[in-house]
Amino acid sequence: MAIRQFIRRHPEWWSLAVSAGAWMWVLRGHGCHIHARGYAMRLGSWTVMTLAMMLPMVVEPLRAVAEDSPRPHRRAALFLLAYLGCWTAVGAAASLVDVSSQPYAPAAALLLAGAWQLAKPSRCPRAPAPRASALRVGWQTGVRCVVNCWALMLVCLAFGHALPAMAAVTAVGLLERPGIVNCEKRPAEAWPTYAPARGRWWR
C-alpha cells in the first residue's frame, strides 16, 4: 500500500528511471562519439542524450502538472510527450550536420555557450495553472528549455556526445533549475501562466 501511494504521489519516478537507463546506455559506450555515421545514428544519439540529460531538469513541472489529478501518470506521459517532442524537433534539425566532424567546433561551441550563459535573461517559471493542458504545459516547458539550453546542447554535439561533456552540461543545467539558483519571482519577469484546457481527453 505504501509503495502504491508513493508511485501515485510521485509520477515523476518513471521519468527518472528512463533517464537512468539512458545514462547506463551512454556509460556502456553506445551513446558516445557518434561521428559521421549517418542521419539516423546522429538523431538516435541525440535522443539518448536528451532522455539522459533533460528529464531530470523537469521533475518539478512534471510533478506539478500531475498533482491532484485522478490520472497523474497519464498527465505526466502527455507532458513528456510534448516536452520531448520539442527537443526531438530540434534534434532532427541539428542532426542534419555532423557538427563534431568540424575541427574548431568544440572551441567555438564552448565560447558560444559561455557567452550565452552570461547574456541570456534569467527568468523564474510560475507553476502551471490548475487543470492546465498537460500537452500545452509540456510543449511550453520544452520551448523554454530549448531557449535556455540550446548552447549547452551544442557543446555536447560539438564533442560528439562524449560522456565528460554530457556530465558537465547536465551539472550546469541542474544548478540552474529554479529553486536551486537564487531567483526573484517578480510577476513582470515570470513566465506566463498556462491557459486552462477546454477538453477532457488529455487531462
Q: Is 146 exposed, middle or buried (0-12, 13-18, 19+ CB in 10 A)?
A: middle
Amino acid sitting at position 171: A
Neighbours of 82 (CB within 10 A): 20
Task: Please state, for a pLDDT cut of 70, what percent of the chain lies above it.
Answer: 71
Domain for residue 56, yes or no? yes
Strand partners, 196: 132
Domain for residue 188, yes or no? no
Domain for residue 199, yes or no? no
Range of the domain at 7: 2-175
Domain for residue 122, yes or no? yes
Q: How confident is the model at residue 189 (pLDDT cuts 50, 70, 90)?
A: very low
- The whole-angstrom separation of Cα 145 and Cα 62 is 14
What does pTM read for this prediction?
0.77
pLDDT (tens digit per residue) in 41-100:
888 889 999 999 999 988 888 888 887 677 888 888 999 999 999 999 999 999 888 888
Domain for residue 197, yes or no? no
CB-facing half-sphere around the CA of 1: CA atoms within 13 A? 0
- The whole-angstrom separation of Cα 113 and Cα 132 is 33
Domain for residue 203, yes or no? no
Domain for residue 184, yes or no? no
In DSSP notation, 59-100 reads HHHHHHHHTT-SSHHHHHHHHHHHHHHHHHHHHHHHTTS-GG
Count of domains observed in the chain: 1
Domain for residue 183, yes or no? no
